[in-house]
């Protein structure tokens, strides 16, 4: 597959031919990575997760409740893409409203992993990652609330990057948890991810959480020969399975050989990260999804009165996982439980951020697993708690608002990719990408 860097040098006619080729390959594929083939503008085609608004497109967040909804406006990330020689092309499958780790909650059915079609591609940006890995998309946009870019990138053997909270505008992104959500790139390699990140980042007056920082150009100064201090969280790796531990140890040796300094640290048990995240994320989800009521967007159920309209529409329109998270969110926000759960979780969130900041006083980056195992088989996760535990290594980064990038580093004996992530201090994407380029060069991952 042509890289994003290469595609940006091609002529308009070549790009038209490439879009035709990609659409034909995607339609012939059995992965179910695309759920629509709309296109917008001219330029290099970039696959768009189905929760990012593209004007005049059907955008459904992979939910029944939004069937028939046509986006009346454009996300800032899409506007920025177009200003950098790219275009929105195709809607990527995802977990419904980004609530899931496998894409199995999608209204359109699950996406399959191209490295093993009996495996999940991860979630919630599973369609974006699977398409890039399968060569039916040059690159893609996803969104990351608790690992939804990095985890599918790790499962599918591609690069996925979550920016610092506020670096990329959330205007036009369907809100799941507004204090955690970020749009980011999924690409074939670190350089392509940097190109896509450079294109979509920047301050946006339409997003009140957008950071007004000077935006340095990453890709033009990408330095794979940088020498950094990289921290390992020793008590984290013991919770991963043997495939992840083996790849982790090999990667650490490769980083040492490349001249990086390794230091050892510990952090609080990941169970506190999981509990904190699923209190705060579900609370925000319950609030954000209250707008889907059968009146303003999507489908409307049969009803005799307003109360019945709301009840029937939401009961019929939302899937089981979305309903579960709405119920959890309403519970932790309810009278008598708000202080016991929500307020306490906010305090723990600050402790998590402080832990990271203390490590960054001595280290430039942190190396961590992305998931505790390689991609599981479709249908093998039988309880919500099993799925929630698969996020144990990614959610703390969102709680702290930090940038992180997942890179493929190895394959297990069954040929399934193993990904690891680098984490950087807030607004230090330059160091993050330099470290990622160095790690990519050091591990020499074979696709």
Contact 254, 323 (CB under 8 A): no
By the 10 Å C-beta count (0-12 exposed, 13-18 middle, 19+ buried), 249 is classed as exposed
Contact 364, 229 (CB under 8 A): yes
Instruction: Supply 244's token pair.
Output: 């992840």
d(CA 49, CA 94): 7
220 belongs to the catalytic site: no
The DSSP letter of residue 340 is: I
The active-site residue out of 143, 148, 169, 390 is 148
Q: Residues 287, 292, 297, 299: what is their CA dihedral angle, to the nearest 10 degrees?
A: 170
Three-class DSSP category at 261: strand
**Residue whose C-alpha is closest to residue 131's, from 107, 158, 105, 102:** 158
Residue 20 CB partners (closer than 8 Å, separation 6+): none
Neighbour tally for 319: CB within 10 Å: 20
Three-class DSSP category at 104: coil
242 belongs to the catalytic site: no
The active-site residue out of 63, 105, 106, 124 is 124
Contact 262, 256 (CB under 8 A): yes
The active-site residue out of 5, 49, 201, 425 is 49
Q: H-helix or E-strand containing 151?
A: helix 150-156
347 belongs to the catalytic site: no
Instruction: Supply 228's token pair.
Output: 């950094």
Angle, CA of 404, 376 and 183, to the nearest 5°: 30
Q: Residues 11, 13, 19, 24: what is their CA dihedral angle, to the nearest 10 degrees?
A: -140
Annotated catalytic sites, by residue? 49, 124, 148
């Amino acid at each position: 597959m042509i890289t994003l860097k290469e595609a940006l040098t091609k002529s308009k006619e070549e790009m038209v031919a490439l879009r035709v080729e990609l659409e034909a390959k995607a339609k012939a594929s059995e992965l179910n990575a695309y759920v629509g083939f709309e296109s917008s503008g001219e330029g290099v085609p970039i696959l768009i997760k189905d929760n990012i608004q593209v004007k005049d497109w059907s955008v459904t967040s992979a939910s029944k409740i939004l069937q028939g909804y046509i986006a009346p406006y454009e996300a800032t990330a899409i506007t920025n893409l177009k200003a950098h020689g790219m275009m929105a092309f195709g809607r990527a499958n995802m977990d419904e409203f980004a609530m899931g780790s496998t894409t199995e909650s999608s209204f359109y059915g699950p996406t399959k992993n191209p490295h093993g079609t009996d495996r999940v591609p991860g979630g919630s940006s599973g369609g974006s990652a699977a398409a890039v890995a399968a060569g039916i998309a040059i690159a893609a946009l996803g969104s990351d609330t608790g690992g939804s870019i990095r985890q599918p990138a790790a499962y599918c053997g591609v690069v996925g990057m979550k920016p610092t909270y506020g670096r990329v505008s959330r205007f036009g992104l369907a809100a799941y948890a507004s204090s955690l959500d970020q749009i980011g790139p999924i690409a074939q390699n670190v350089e392509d991810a940097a190109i896509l990140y450079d294109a979509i980042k920047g301050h946006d007056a339409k997003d009140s959480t957008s950071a007004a920082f000077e935006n340095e150009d990453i890709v033009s100064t990408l330095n794979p020969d940088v020498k950094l201090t990289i921290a390992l969280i020793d008590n984290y790796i013991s919770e991963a399975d043997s495939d992840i531990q083996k790849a982790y140890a090999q990667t650490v040796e490769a980083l040492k050989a490349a001249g990086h300094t390794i230091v050892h640290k510990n952090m609080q048990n990941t169970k506190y990260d999981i509990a904190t995240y699923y209190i705060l994320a579900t609370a925000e989800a319950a609030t954000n999804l209250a707008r889907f009521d059968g009146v303003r967007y999507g489908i409307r159920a049969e009803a005799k009165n307003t109360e019945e309209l709301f009840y029937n529409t939401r009961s019929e329109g939302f899937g089981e996982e979305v309903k579960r998270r709405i119920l959890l969110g309403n519970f932790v926000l309810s009278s008598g439980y708000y202080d016991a759960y929500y307020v306490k979780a906010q305090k723990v969130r600050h402790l998590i951020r402080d832990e990271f900041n203390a490590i960054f006083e001595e280290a430039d980056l942190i190396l961590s697993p992305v998931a505790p195992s390689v991609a599981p088989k479709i249908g093998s996760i039988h309880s919500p708690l099993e799925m929630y535990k698969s996020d144990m290594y990614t959610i703390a980064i969102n709680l702290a608002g930090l940038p992180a990038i997942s890179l493929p580093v190895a394959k297990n004996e069954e040929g399934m990719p193993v990904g690891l992530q680098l984490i950087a201090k807030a607004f230090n994407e330059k160091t993050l990408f330099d470290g990622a380029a160095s790690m990519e060069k050091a591990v020499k991952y074979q696709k």
